[in-house]
Amino acid sequence: MTSSENIAEASTGTDTTQPGADSTGAAYADSRDTTEGRVYTVSGGDWDDVIGGLDSSEHDERMVINMGPQHPSTHGVLRLVLEMEGETVTQLRSVIGYLHTGIEKNCEYRTWTQGVTFVTRMDYLAPLSNEMAYCLAVEKLLGIEAPRRAALIRVLLLELNRIGSHMVYIATGGMELGATTAMTLGFREREEVLHLLEHLTGLRMNHAFIRPGGLAQDLPDDYHEKVTEFIKVMDSRLPLYDKLFTGQPIWRNRLKGVGYLPVDACLSLGITGPVLRSAGLPWDLRKVEPYSCYEEFDFEVPIDTGADCWARYLLRVEEMHQSLKIVRQVLDKLEPGPVMVEDKKVAWPAQLSVSSDGMGNSLEHVRKIMGQSMESLIHHFKLVTEGFKVPAGQVYVPVESPRGELGYHLVSDGGTRPMRVHVREPSFVNLQSMPAMSEGGLVADVIAAVASIDPVMGGVDR
């Protein structure tokens, strides 16, 4: 009998006295009388269900360990309830919801353009992937395409962001397994990525640089020099990871055979990204369903058949090499042109001039807006405050984020705000694989398995 059934029977006066119940019959519940009637406070939840089901004669060796949600090895506020016999995990349950932000719901109360500043904060290690998928979905509803220069710059930013995200995977995964050198090196390289993104977009994270119709503004004049410099740095440093980790027997033995998840299990659970490709299926949306000029680029989709933590590590390192290959090609293809659609009913001002303190528009830009006709000033004001209208309909647009398929389902009722925003977030889906990866293995290997999924809880608890 469930706690809710106990409460229901208690309120009707039915005798439900049982172990763990109070005098009213409500299991694990204290009661108090209010103006609305008697209220029961039920506590314990799944923890009491686990303990209540224990039969001491059969499970002398069984322990239940609560790992997280504040734990240095759970990639944020993820709670894992582990049932163990000795050091072997017999049952694992993932508990989420400790970081709920309500981002999806918040988007329904903002204009289509303002939604970018919300979605970029979901997966905060790959903010540009969220911006990209959201804006592609809005543009599909509008029936427009971003200019070619904007599409190429988007690819450039996405691949830089992918390198930075994979560096955090190496850094945090290494730290959780005791390889502190991986942490210091990984964050050193990620810092190079963040410096470059800050130079190109104005912000290190949560850029809101990709907008419906194009980009917030063009790249700075010295972008080619800065990106080329970054490529040289990464070309010199990436081989170091092969020397320190790929050829390191301790690192290899710690990951090999751990967190095994074959391709049929991946497909059954809906797993995508590096975890799926590590099981041998070359599913990458940049290749199978290309978007934003990806079909023009020459790059490989790394795969492995190991289906374990070791294969996922090798795969992500190779993906960084492939991202650098794409970045080089973008630099060769970039030509002068607009970075925002010409439609004035959609386009926010794309050639902004930022003030000297880095905040807001420069006085020259404000004078330019104010010096135009009254009609254009009113239009500018309404476009910024009310936003543009999007034709009624619904779309689903996926992109390949560093963690897998990131898809946006947008519903429009024809107004200036979304009627519904729902995200197919890869970290959320991929976490379903935790029990399959961990049950039957050692508790120490749970840490390696979580790290190999590389979840971001901001995307899970959206």
pLDDT tens for residues 185-211?
Answer: 999 999 999 999 999 988 888 888 999
Reported as a pLDDT band with limits 50, 70 and 90, residue 54 is: low
Neighbours of 356 (CB within 10 A): 7
Q: Which residue has the higher pLDDT, 171 or 368?
A: 171
| Alpha-carbon gap, residue 399 to 280, rounded angstroms | 20
Same domain as 21, residue 159:
no
Question: Is 182 exposed, middle or buried (CB count within 10 Å of its CB: 0-12, 13-18, 19+)?
Answer: buried
Residue 141 clears pLDDT 50, i.e. is over it: yes
Residue 272 shares a structural domain with residue 360 = no
pLDDT at 368 over 80: no
The answer to whether residue 414 is domain-embedded is: yes
pLDDT at 161: 94
Give the confidence band of 373 by pLDDT, cuts at 50, 70, 90.
low
One domain for residues 325 and 377: no
Q: Are residues 296 and 159 in the same domain?
A: yes
Say if 187 falls within a structural domain: yes
Are 319 and 434 in the same domain? Answer: yes
Compute CA 393 distance to the chain's CA centroid, rounded to the nearest angstrom.
26
The model's pLDDT over 75-87, given as tens digits with 9 standing for 90+, comes to 778 888 888 888 8
- Residue 71: the pLDDT is 78
Closest CA to 426 of 407, 408, 404, 410: 404
Does the pLDDT value for residue 13 go beyond 50? no
> What is the pTM for the complete model shown?
0.82
DSSP label of 372: S
Are 28 and 162 part of one and the same domain?
no
For residue 362, what are the domain limits?
Answer: 352-385
Query: Quick one: 257 and 174 in the same domain?
Result: yes
Give the Å distances, CA to CA, from 390 to 113, 415, 431: 11, 6, 34
CA 217-222-226 angle, to 5 degrees, is 105
State yes or no: pLDDT of 250 exceeds 80: yes
Mean pLDDT (whole number) for 61-66: 82
Q: Is residue 104 part of a domain?
A: no
- Domain co-membership, 197 together with 249: yes
**d(C-alpha 229, C-alpha 196), whole Å:** 10
Residues 37, 179, single domain; the answer is no
How many folded domains does the chain comprise?
A: 3
The confidence score (pLDDT) of residue 177 equals 86
359 shares a domain with 222 = no
The alpha helices in 30-70, defined as continuous H runs, are 46-52
